[in-house]
Amino acid sequence: MDLAAVLTLDVLNGVASLILLCTGLAVIFGMMKIINLAHGEFLMLGAYATVVAVEAGINIWIAMLVISPVFVGLVGLVVERTFIRLLYGRLVDSMLATWGLSLFLVGLITTIFGNTIKSVPSPLGGFTIGAYRSSLYTVFLVVVAIALLGGLWVLMRRTRFGLIARATMQNPDMAAAMGVSPPRVYMATFGLGAAITGLAGGLLAPVAGVLPTMGAAYIAKAFITVVAGGTSIIAGGATASGLFGFINQTASYLTTPVIGEVFLFVAAIILIRLLPQGISGRFFRGSL
């Protein structure tokens, strides 16, 4: 029974991590059709923002939950203004540009901080369930993931910004005719996606080794989850994260971590073969 509780927590942790990892990417990819190959590096920037802020003596919660998303969001705005805006509708060009951006960011951070591992201490302790111990931080990540999805849903469904954003994504010309400025909406959406990724990076900092190349370890999973989720960023992302997180963690537990990774990717291939439009293309069509 205790074991079941701990394992459930592991699965929830796996799911929550995937949600955090892929939501920012989903906003940029799902809504704007920009394949952001610098996603992993945005994550890395978020992690560094937290590390630097904590080293400067700022409270870790403020660093993770405020500084990281705001900083990476601003970086996102600059990136969008400088070159992404020239590349809308040009899929391959945008991939090349963001890939170049990712190399640049890795080089820049290596030059500034060196390629040694940085880290911040994990802020919450552990707790016991019967004979087992688990980390409170895991629970915290689950709460943040739920809050993130909830917040995004409210933003997109219940606010004027959300309405305008959705309208612009569906039909930019019509939105423009209604007096909306699509470039400005694109800019804000890209910034939002970057900020969410920055938040994920900040939250990862206490449980990962922070180094300039850390993004590479996360980007494949983030892309697979977003592609499998389909165009609905919330419904699709959450179900794909749930499915893959469950498969990965359970298979890792039952067999080995190597097989766990293999299962995740096999499941993704099968899923994309059966549902080329992603989960939401079939089951949550038209939803967020």
Single out the residue of 112, 124, 154, 163 in contact with another protein (rule: CB under 8 A): 124
Only segment of 70-78, 214-222, 224-232, 278-286 that touches another protein (CB under 8 A): 214-222
**Collapsing DSSP states into helix, strand and coil, what is residue 186?**
helix
| Site residues (CB under 8 A) for another protein, limited to 142-201 | none
Residues 28 and 156: their CA atoms lie apart, in Å, by 14
With contacts defined by CB under 8 A, name the span among 9-17, 61-69, 154-162, 236-244 that binds another protein.
9-17
Tell me the window of 58-66, 111-119, 142-150, 274-282 that interacts with another protein (CB under 8 A): 111-119
**Interface with another protein includes 206 (CB under 8 A)?**
yes
Q: How far apart are the C-alpha atoms of 283 and 274, rounded to whole Å?
A: 13
Query: In whole angstroms, how far apart are CA 126 and each of 6, 65, 203, 208?
Result: 12, 21, 17, 17
> Of these, 59, 82, 170, 256, which contacts another protein (CB under 8 A)?
256
Considering the complex, state which of residue 55 and residue 93 has its C-beta at the smaller distance from another protein: 55
Task: Give whichever of 119 and 287 is closer to another protein, judged by the CB atom.
Answer: 119
The rounded distance, in Å, linking the Cα atoms of 94 and 88 is 8
- Cα distances (angstroms) measured from residue 159 to each of 127, 155, 186: 39, 5, 16
- Cα–Cα distance measured from residue 106 to residue 38, given in angstroms and rounded to the nearest whole number: 10
The residue among 250 and 287 lying less far from another protein, judged by its C-beta, is 250
| CB of 135 or CB of 287, closer to another protein | 135
Q: Say whether residue 269 binds another protein (CB under 8 A).
A: no
- Answer for which of 198, 212, 236, 237 binds another protein (CB under 8 A) is 212
What residues form DSSP beta bridges with 132?
Answer: 129
* Binds another protein (CB under 8 A): choice among 86, 93, 100, 115: 115
Token digits for 126? Answer: 């552990």
Q: Does 111 bind another protein (CB under 8 A)?
A: no
H or E stretch covering 129: strand 126-129
> Which residues from 47-106 bind another protein, rule CB under 8 A?
106
Other residues' Cβ atoms within 10 Å of the Cβ of residue 285: 12
At residue 231, φ and ψ (nearest 5 deg) are: -75, -25
Binding residues with another protein: total (CB under 8 A):
51
- One-letter amino acid of 203: L
Which backbone phi and psi does 212 adopt, to 5 degrees? -55, -30
List contacts with another protein (CB under 8 A): 3, 6-7, 9-10, 13-14, 17, 106, 110, 114-119, 121-122, 124-128, 131-138, 206-209, 211-214, 216-218, 249-250, 252-253, 256-258, 260-261
